A and B are shown apart, each in its own frame.
Chain A
Amino acid sequence: MTEPTVIQLSETEWEIPARGDMRVPAFVFADKTLVDGMESRVFEQLANVAKLPGIVAGAFAMPDAHWGYGFPIGGVAAFDPDDGGVVSMGGVGFDISCGVRTLLTGLSADDILACQSQLADDLLRRIPAGVGSTGAISLAPDEMDAMLRGGARWAVERGWGENADLDRTEEHGCMTDTHPEFVSDRAKERQKQEMGTLGSGNHYLEVQRVTRIYDGAAACAFGLKVGDAVVSIHCGSRGLGHQIGTEALREMVTAAPKLGIRLPDRELACAPVNSEPGQRYLGAMRVAINCALANRQIITHLAREVFARHFPKASLVLLYDVSHNTCKAEVHEVDGRCRHLYVHRKGATRAFGPGHPEIPRAYRDAGQPVLIGGTMGTASYILRGTEAGMKKAFGSACHGAGRSLSRTAARKRWQGKDIVTSLADRGILIRSHSLRGVAEEAPDAYKDVGAVVDAADAAGLAAKVARLEPMICVKG
């Protein structure tokens, strides 16, 4: 395959014109340095996405885009079911609804410093993290189905959280139109002991300090000010989502030829939204979103318990919860016409602009909080959705720093122990069950999250509100 041509449109916008089988052009939002750093496979994958049936307007890559499966990670595309539009497992990924939530603590960074080491130890002890860890909650079949239908709402009803949490979670904590009956026994079996676990890889729980405010009004609406301590949790739908993804990929690869779909790449396995395999995947994927929401809700509860021991008067209030790997039915205006579309965001965050009815009232004037997770040695950011982002990429923004170096290369280059020591010297306490895991997640194995966020801001996808720096990181 010849490498797609990438044409610069502005400082932060690039186009791959529609050629050959591409139904629409592809667009990359990034500055020149980030584009130069992207593997050519990102552009090939994006061009392939543009070939899928029913795609609307374009295939989009966020500033943190990197080589994924089917879609690049950081890929966004919307499909119109009335125009043969598809749903693709490769546009969602294995870790369905992997996402971030941030909690306000009402505490200052100085309060944390007074007990930083002990708090870090207690968080590691309380929150199951890493390979083979199990949660304290084991779900019987009926309860499993209740969780899969109820999401974070189920968790709150069982006592793991507060009703107010649901108002600050996408979909009010619960996806509707779910179909637990489309989920295999194997997927449920894989999840049985994984409720309330962080997982591994790039998942974490961090205690962070707000170090900078870029947008005073939005920061005020979000409840953020310099010197505050917040807690951010990054994890997903655990074994259930992974198994649903695995099974859907196989089913869609086999079904595609029968449905008359020619796949440019097997990982782009897809099925028309209006088809039996398409509906089955959507029903199961929504179930996995609920599983991820319930999981983050339970971990929130565990974090609250730990904080209550150290700070009896503190109250951890959910700022917001966003999901990164999803396909959601949304209404968007395209060429002056409202269309019902299925928007895939793979390693990308929903970033709805001001006034959108799905944004909690308290934030509606500011725009949706967009939570961007960084590395354990750099920073995370909170942005807000914009009007421009709604028009440019169906209300989507980047989701993190994006890897620049593979795990194998990172492992060869760094020792986990050295990373833990050097971060401790900078006041960042890392707690992990695996030093090799820490080495693979070395901050320098990632792109410059500041540059990624600046590009998202400059491109108008989302606007910077606050910068957060880690104080404690419990690594999954």
Chain B
Amino acid sequence: MTDGDWEHFEHGADIGVRGSGPTVEAAFEQAALALTAVIVDPARVAPQTEIEVSCEATDLELLLVDWLNALIYEMASRRMVFSAFDVRIDGNRLAAKARGEAVDTDRHAPAVEVKGATYTELRVDFRDGRWYAQCVVDV
């Protein structure tokens, strides 16, 4: 996991997730952390169990949506939340490891589930020496 930051940004009915870092991989990792933070406080999620995710798209923006949707699928089907990510991007292909644990309603107090990542406010770009990756997720 590389250094970086994540934040949420406003969207009418839903939530925008934004990650940034020195590399595009770091920005993707941070965007994933922002996704987790929509649901739970990532600090409360122990990175115990590791899963692998891979996806491929024609450009980096579509790859970001695919990456977040792959995580949404894993969270929903495994009933897990993730707090640590290791992303590798080779061309238009992404391979990643995500570490987390099963949802514990009492301990995690999850707020809301995410239905899907959208193309709204979707941007992956390099500005002022930093990579940014963002989109709105539907909750």
Contact = CB atoms under 8 A, between A and B. Distances in A.
Interface of A: 39, 41, 66-69, 73, 93-95, 130-134, 186, 189-190, 192-193, 199-201, 239, 242-243, 245-246, 249-250, 253-254, 266-267, 269, 403, 406-409, 411, 433-437, 440
Nearest to B13: A403
B66 A66 contact: no
Interface stretch (B23-31, B84-92, B102-110, B124-132): B102-110
B112 interface: yes
B39 interface: yes
Contacts of B119: 69, 249, 253, 266-267, 269
B105 A409 contact: no
7 contacts: A69-B118, A190-B73, A239-B77, A408-B15, A434-B111, A437-B110, A440-B112
A466 B40 CA distance: 38
A406 B66 contact: no
Given A266-B122, A436-B109, A436-B111, A67 B116 contact: no
Nearest to B120: A69
A435 B113 contact: no
A250 B63 CA distance: 11
Contacts of A269: 119
Contacts of A130: 105, 110
A243 B111 contact: no
B115 interface: yes
Interface in B1-38: 8-15
Given A94-B116, A242-B116, A246-B116, A131 B13 contact: no
A94 B139 CA distance: 9
Given A132-B79, A250-B66, A66 B13 contact: yes
A434 B73 CA distance: 22
A246 B120 CA distance: 13
A246 B68 CA distance: 11
Given A246-B117, A436-B111, 20 more contacts: A69-B120, A94-B115, A131-B110, A200-B112, A200-B113, A201-B112, A242-B76, A243-B73, A243-B116, A245-B115, A249-B119, A253-B62, A253-B119, A266-B122, A403-B13, A406-B12, A433-B110, A434-B105, A435-B109, A437-B110
Contacts of A249: 116, 118-119
B136 interface: yes
A239 B113 CA distance: 10
B69 interface: yes
A436 B110 CA distance: 8
Contacts of B65: 250
B10 to A, nearest CB: 4
Contacts of A254: 58
Interface residues of B, number: 38
Contacts of B40: 131
Given A245-B116, A267-B118, A408 B12 contact: no
A344 B115 CA distance: 20
A266 B119 CA distance: 6
A298 B66 CA distance: 32
- Residue among A67, A132, A189, A239 having the largest count of chain B Cβ atoms under 10 Å: A132
A73 B105 CA distance: 30
A95 B115 contact: yes
Contact of A186 (B15, B73, B118): B73
- Residue among B58, B79, B109 having the largest count of chain A Cβ atoms under 10 Å: B109
Contacts of B139: 200-201, 407
Given A68-B13, A266-B122, A407-B14, A131 B73 contact: no
Contacts of A436: 109, 111
Contacts of A435: 109
A123 B52 CA distance: 38
Interface string B44-80: 0000000000000010001001100100110011010
Given A68-B12, A69-B119, A69-B136, A132 B105 contact: yes
Contacts of A407: 13-15, 112, 139
A253 B40 CA distance: 31
Given A189-B77, A436-B109, A406 B115 contact: no
A67 B79 contact: no
A232 to B, nearest CB: 20
A132 B10 contact: no
A67 B121 CA distance: 12
A440 B111 contact: yes
Nearest to A95: B115
B71 to A, nearest CB: 12
Given A67-B11, A69-B119, A433 B69 contact: no
